[in-house]
Structures are given as structure tokens and as C-alpha cells.
Copies of this chain bind each other. A is one copy, B any other.
Amino acid sequence: MPGPPATPTRPLRVGVLASGEGTNLQALLDTVHGHEAEVVALACDKPDARALVRAAGAGVPSRVFPRDEHATREERDAAIAAWLGAEGVELVVLAGYMAILTPVFVGAFQGRIVNVHPSLLPAFPGIRAIEQAVAHGVEVFGVTVHLVDDGVDTGAILLQDAIRLPGTPTAGQVHDALRPLEHRLLPEAVRRAARGELRPLRAG
């Protein structure tokens, strides 16, 4: 005799912000989308971002918010937050979004924004993280998924993974080596959020 049906859980409504290729968006579309989560909105700052093509291919609504159509960064961020809010977004994923978010946006989705950063934070925050790591001469490279706060890559760590690259890899080689880690960790973070487990590993 079959047991009672599993409690139907509503997929988590995810909004993605991207600026470029959108490979992390694609990783979400290929894994959690349509299962634990539903990507319901893609916001881009660049009209030629390939991420827009990927969203269209998956039937995900997208909008472009170019910098020059808004008087200030705060106004743009308010417009993005308003659209995501109207779409019922519960979790925001930064998937290669190159603009720094203002407190207007961070405050609107406090504790519900995750970013993937190509270093083992707290080492090498900010831009060109891989180039920083290569210049420093490290042998272990990695990826961090973290909550976004008002600082630059300072929010609580959710997930990390690493790879040892002996020899003298170029930044491009490190970038390629880290991609699979990003594409694994980011869906895992969304799965956790869908289960209501999106919390820091430890009190930091």
C-alpha cells in the first residue's frame, strides 16, 4: 500500500542577474530549474549579454537595465528590485553580474542574495580575483558562494570548493578549471535555499 503522497513543495522563485556569457545561469537552467526552483526572471545590465539568449531559450522572461537609462545606480537598482519583486522572486542569484549592487538593492533582498566568486574568500576579494591569485603565486585555487551584504565579497560564506593547480597556470587556465566548480556549487546553493537551509556554514 503506497504511503501518503509527498507534500508538494512549490519551487523556489529565483531571479538571476547577469552581465555576460551566462554560463552560471545555464548551469541553473540545466539543473534546478523546473525542479526545486524556477528561474522566473533574468535582469541584465548589458543588452548584448549572451545570458539573454540562454534565458529566451528556456522561456525565462528577461529585461535589460542599461546604466545610461537611469540617472543613478540607485535608481537602476530600485527598478531591478521592483521588477524582481513584481515577479515574486524569493532568491536573487548573481551569476557573473559585473556591476556593484547598491544598498537599495541589497536592502530589498536582505539575506536572500547569493553570489559566486572565483576565489577562496576571504582571499582575493573584488575584481580580477583569479589574476590576483595567479600574481600572488598560490597553488590552490577555488570558488566561494556567499551571501551578499553591503561590502565587497564580505558576506557570510555558504559553500566553497578548491582545486590544486601545480605548475604555473595562466589566469585563463585557472578560469577554465574553476568553471565546473562554480557550475556545481551554485545549483547546490539554490537547492539549499529551496529546502530553507540557506544559512552560513558557521557563525562568522
Binding site for B on A (CB under 8 A): 120-123, 134-140, 142, 156-157, 159-162, 164, 166-168, 200-204
A123→B132 CA distance, assembly (Å): 13
**Nearest neighbor of A203 in chain B, beta-carbon distance:** B137
Q: Given that A123-B122, A123-B123, A162-B162 are known contacts, is A202 also in contact with B137, CB under 8 Å in the complex? A: yes
B160 in contact with A200 (CB, 8 Å) = no
Measured in the bound complex, the distance between the Cα atoms of B204 and A137 in whole Å is 5
- How many Å lie between the Cα of A100 and that of B204 in the bound state? 28
* Of the residues B123, B134, B157, B203, contact of A120 by C-beta under 8 Å: B123
Query: If A123-B122, A123-B123, A202-B168 touch, does A160 touch B138 (CB 8 Å cutoff)?
Result: yes
Q: Give the chain B neighbours of A202 by CB distance below 8 A.
A: 134-135, 137, 168
**The 4 nearest A-B residue pairs measured at CB:** A139-B160, A137-B202, A137-B204, A123-B123
